[in-house]
């Protein structure tokens, strides 16, 4: 991290982020707390906490950044530019690089504060490729150098993980999306609860604007998942009902499994929400098989719940 380098205040909605200062001194702002971290200091930032950091000294600083769960490092690979020498301070991002970064960052669950001021800051993201003889990745985010040391085995696992992420993101271009599933699920629940569903109800439960709801309803109607006439209500088609029922069943199975693990209902519901959209049919089949097994072997479930591991 070069002198005066550091990102804008931001929030990561998924990851815990740990910072271990290797050399120099870095000043962290975590929520309302200011931490002056010298070499050997570890700073942990949980999800959904605004934070930033800056090298306020005249000397180069280095730190190790740890993310759990992993995945956010791909932001730098996707939005960064390769450099040949991380010891030379790079030039600020161009307007096109800045736009690319702003467009990509939200896909990784990162919220940047004062986004309208981005162009006033020298915010630069660079990356270097792996070399054959140096197992080290250096990423500079506004002159922050992240070093990731791994064995050949763990690097292979990371490669497999990246391929998995690539496949999942490749599915986003498909005609049907998880957001559409959310709509069908909410519509189904409303119809079961009230006997009907209105755009206003959907807007309230999904916390989206009425125009956005209308736009999605028209899309679902065009794709034959619902029958929708403006000001006359809507109903699910057979195709829409089948998808909504499938999502509901997946949600129910996951919730039952989490509760068997001893997770309280509130936490289980929070964790399960959204997971049902990403289960492969093979995974769903095996999960249901496992649930039936546990129900048929209450002594096994009881043994697990009483264990002190």
Task: Determine the Cα–Cα distance for residues 144 and 224; give it in Å rounded to an integer.
Answer: 50
Banded pLDDT at 57 (limits 50, 70, 90): very high
- Confirm if 47 and 14 have CB atoms less than 8 A apart: yes
218 or 106: whose pLDDT is higher? 218
Banded pLDDT at 224 (limits 50, 70, 90): very high
Q: Which of 42-46, 56-60, 71-75, 100-104 has the lowest mean pLDDT?
A: 100-104
Q: Is the pLDDT of residue 169 over 70?
A: no
Residue 178 has a pLDDT of 80
Residue closest to 102 by CA, chosen among 123, 81, 126: 123
DSSP letters spanning 132-197: SS--EEEEEESS-EEEEE--HHHHHHHHHHHHHHHHHHHGGGSSS-HHHHHHHHHHHHHHHHHS--
**Strand ranges across the sheet with 145-149:** 81-82, 125-127, 136-141, 145-149
Q: Which of 4-13, 98-107, 125-134, 168-177 has the lowest mean pLDDT?
A: 125-134
Task: Determine the Cα–Cα distance for residues 262 and 233; give it in Å rounded to an integer.
Answer: 41
Banded pLDDT at 54 (limits 50, 70, 90): very high
SS3 state of residue 284: helix
Residue closest to 200 by CA, chosen among 192, 135, 208: 208
Residue 145 has a pLDDT of 33
Arithmetic mean of pLDDT over the chain: 77
Strands 136-141, 42-45: parallel, antiparallel or unpaired by DSSP? unpaired
- Confirm if 60 and 73 have CB atoms less than 8 A apart: no
106 or 120: whose pLDDT is higher? 106
Region 3-13 average pLDDT: 85
Positive or negative: CA dihedral 117, 83, 104, 141: negative
Count of CB atoms situated within 10 Å of the CB of 138: 18
- Confirm if 43 and 37 have CB atoms less than 8 A apart: yes
- Confirm if 147 and 51 have CB atoms less than 8 A apart: no
For residue 113, the surrounding DSSP H or E stretch is: none
Residue 127 has a pLDDT of 37
Residue closest to 19 by CA, chosen among 54, 49, 46, 43: 43
Task: Determine the Cα–Cα distance for residues 152 and 77; give it in Å rounded to an integer.
Answer: 20
Banded pLDDT at 130 (limits 50, 70, 90): very low
Residue 172 has a pLDDT of 44
- Confirm if 47 and 16 have CB atoms less than 8 A apart: yes
Structural domains of the chain ordered from first start:
10-170 (2.60.120.10), 178-236 (1.10.10.10), 241-306 (1.10.60.10)
Q: Is the pLDDT of residue 184 over 50?
A: yes
Measured at the CA of 71, the angle between CA 182 and CA 251, to 5 degrees, comes to: 30
Q: Is the pLDDT of residue 170 over 70?
A: no
């Amino acid at each position: 991290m070069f002198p005066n380098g550091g990102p804008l205040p931001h929030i990561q909605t998924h990851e815990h982020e740990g910072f271990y200062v290797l050399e120099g001194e870095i000043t962290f702002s975590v929520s309302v707390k200011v931490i002056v971290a010298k070499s050997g200091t570890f700073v942990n930032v949980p999800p959904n906490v605004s934070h930033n950091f800056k090298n306020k000294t005249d000397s180069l600083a280095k730190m190790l950044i740890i993310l759990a769960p992993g995945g956010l490092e791909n932001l730098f690979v996707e939005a960064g530019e390769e450099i040949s020498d991380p010891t030379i301070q790079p030039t600020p991002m161009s307007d096109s690089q800045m736009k690319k970064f702003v467009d990509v960052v939200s896909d990784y669950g990162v919220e940047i504060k004062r986004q309208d001021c981005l162009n006033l800051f020298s915010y630069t993201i660079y990356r270097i490729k792996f070399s054959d003889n140096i197992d080290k990745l250096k990423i500079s985010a506004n002159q922050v150098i992240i070093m990731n040391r791994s064995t050949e085995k763990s690097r292979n696992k990371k490669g497999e993980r990246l391929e998995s992420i690539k496949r999942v993101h490749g599915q986003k271009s498909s005609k049907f999306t998880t957001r559409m599933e959310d709509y069908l699920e909410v519509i189904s629940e409303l119809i079961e609860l009230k006997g009907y569903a209105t755009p206003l109800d959907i807007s309230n439960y999904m916390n989206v604007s009425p125009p956005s709801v209308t736009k999605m309803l028209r899309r679902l109607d065009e794709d034959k998942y619902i029958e929708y006439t403006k000001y006359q209500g809507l109903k699910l088609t057979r195709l829409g009902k089948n998808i909504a029922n499938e999502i509901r069943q997946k949600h129910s199975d996951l919730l039952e499994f989490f509760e068997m693990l001893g997770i309280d209902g509130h936490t289980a519901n929070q964790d399960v929400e959204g997971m049902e959209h990403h289960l492969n049919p093979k995974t769903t089949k095996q999960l249901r098989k496992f649930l039936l097994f546990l129900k048929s072997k209450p002594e096994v479930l009881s043994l697990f719940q009483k264990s002190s591991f």
